[in-house]
Structure 1
Amino acid sequence: MKLTGERVRFGLAVFGLTALVVFVLSSCSDSKPEASPSNGTSSSGPGQSSGTPVPSASTPVLTALPTPSTPWPTPKVTGAPADDAPLADRITFAISKQTQIAAGRAAKTTVKCPGIDKVEAAGQHKLDCTVTYAGKPFTGTLTVDSKQYTASYKFTSEEVAIVRAKVVDAVLRAASDAAKVTCEMEDVGIVVHSGLPIGCNVTTTGNAVQEYRAQVTGNGQVTVKKA
């Protein structure tokens, strides 16, 4: 993340014949044996179908997710200090505000830069800072060039905070016919913006799975490409 300036730009059959045939023992009579009455039932032999259809697995019906029609909203960050507040307060708020805008959601953010209370003294100051956004910390460097009546400053970091919902939103803009989007990150992630992209899987309404990659820039912009 980079911030400059005074304000934020930041899933057989077994059948026995004995069971079906009744043997009649002959007696001393000359009469013929009576035929065994039929019980009216039949037995299915081997290889014969019972006639009951085998149910087939149904294909789940997936509904396409809506494609975002408006840009991801810029979060409203509150708590700005007065214009005449100490320089340290104005700088830490600027870093905090840019962090939240880049992340895509307003959340509790703290900025700790040991020695920042002395940056109003004339000269150049270089400080190591720790920014904690929604409980997730990352580090950066603050440089301040103070003069008698003015001061300029710049905050840089190889990392940037971002919320998963903002990444999913960007994927939905790039993928068509998406019914589900799953990205390999927590609800809030700290990303090295010059490092590997975030992997996302898109399940289409036809149950096909496609891979996408989301690259986050230092100011929180998300670029999505199909893998």
Structure 2
Amino acid sequence: MRRWTVPAIAAVALLVLAGCSDSPPEAGSTPAPSTPAGSTSAPIPTASTPTLTPLPTPTKPWPTPKVTGAPDDDAPLAERIRFAIAKQAQIAAGKAATTKVSCPGIDDADKPGEHSLTCTVTYAGKPYSGTLTVDAKQYSASYRFTSESVAIAKAKVVDAVQRAASGAAKVTCTMDDVAVVKHTAQGIQCDVTTVDNAVQPYRAQVSGNGQVLVSKA
């Protein structure tokens, strides 16, 4: 009688399938995270804040400009007054520059009596107005010029701020090289960059005679 071998073959196939089956992961186990090739766990470096070079501290007062063109002592009164106003404007501004003074009616100011005139001062192309008062006598005369405005050079303002701010590496003021400002206004805005690269606001107030007063804004 012949024997069939089919059951034996089925048993072998079942064994092979059982050996290829995957085992479930153990309870509580966590797969290890994969690390991309070339990656590193070192901290990312940050850029350091550069230290700036301090500006040299001024050791001398702002120089008084040398004003030329003074008339003779026996020149007409109108000529001498115009020069006096122009000279004061340049000294207040802190720099000698072309200055013109126009006062309609000043040629008659030497007549005895009190005279009040409106004048226009043009310093380095920047005009502003003021009032001239003349008290004339027979052999003498006194005069006074007043104005709410004054011309000022930017370099003089920057110098004053630099003196007031400690550790300044840079001074920036929002103004032209020459500006006409009212000494009754809030003043000129300036920014000081310190040696630690920090920016601090300052304000420069200009008086009627050109003195610059600086304070933190």
Shorter-chain TM-score above 0.5: yes
Q: Shift of residue 121 of structure 1?
A: 1.0
Q: Does 1:120 align with 2:101?
A: no
Mapped to 2, the partners of 1:194 and 1:100 lie a distance apart of 20
Deviations 1:134-175, CA, capped at 9 Å, x for gaps? 000000010111110010111000000000110111111110
Aligned to 1:164: 154
Q: Does 1:197 align with 2:184?
A: no
Aligned to 1:109: 99
Where does the alignment leave 5 or more consecutive residues of structure 2 unmatched? 1-33
Q: Shift of residue 197 of structure 1?
A: 1.3
Aligned to 1:140: 130
Match of 1:216 among 192, 206, 216: 206
What TM-score do you get using the length of structure 2 for normalisation? 0.80
- Aligned positions, number: 184
What SS does the aligned partner of 2:158 have?
Answer: helix
Aligned to 1:67: 57
Q: Shift of residue 46 of structure 1?
A: 2.9
Which structure has more RCO (C-alpha within 8 Å, separation ≥ 6)?
1
Question: Which one-letter code corresponds to 1:168 in the other structure?
Answer: V
Q: Shift of residue 58 of structure 1?
A: 5.5
Mapped to 2, the partners of 1:170 and 1:62 lie a distance apart of 20
Mapped to 1, the partners of 2:60 and 2:135 lie a distance apart of 39
- Where do 1:1-227 residues align within 5 Å? 46=36, 48-49=38-39, 57=47, 59-227=49-217
Question: Which one-letter code corresponds to 1:101 in the other structure?
Answer: I
Of structures 1 and 2, the larger Rg is shown by: 2
Q: Shift of residue 122 of structure 1?
A: 1.1
Is the alpha carbon distance of 1:47 and 1:201 closer, same or farther for their aligned partners in structure 2, counting shifts above 3 Å? farther
Deviations 1:106-129, CA, capped at 9 Å, x for gaps? 000000001111111111111110
Deviations 1:82-125, CA, capped at 9 Å, x for gaps? 00000000000000000000000000000000111111111111
Q: Shift of residue 200 of structure 1?
A: 0.7
Mapped to 1, the partners of 2:100 and 2:173 lie a distance apart of 27
What SS does the aligned partner of 1:95 have?
Answer: helix
Q: Report if the CA contact (8 A) 2:169-2:192 is conserved.
A: yes
Mapped to 2, the partners of 1:47 and 1:185 lie a distance apart of 58
Mapped to 2, the partners of 1:104 and 1:65 lie a distance apart of 21
Question: Which one-letter code corresponds to 1:128 in the other structure?
Answer: T
Where does the alignment leave 5 or more consecutive residues of structure 1 unmatched? 1-43
Q: Give the % identical residues.
A: 70
What SS does the aligned partner of 2:152 have?
Answer: strand
Mapped to 1, the partners of 2:133 and 2:161 lie a distance apart of 35
CA root-mean-square deviation: 2.0
Q: Report if the CA contact (8 A) 2:49-2:196 is conserved.
A: no
Q: Shift of residue 51 of structure 1?
A: 9.8
Greater helix share, 1 or 2? Answer: 2
Mapped to 1, the partners of 2:90 and 2:121 lie a distance apart of 11
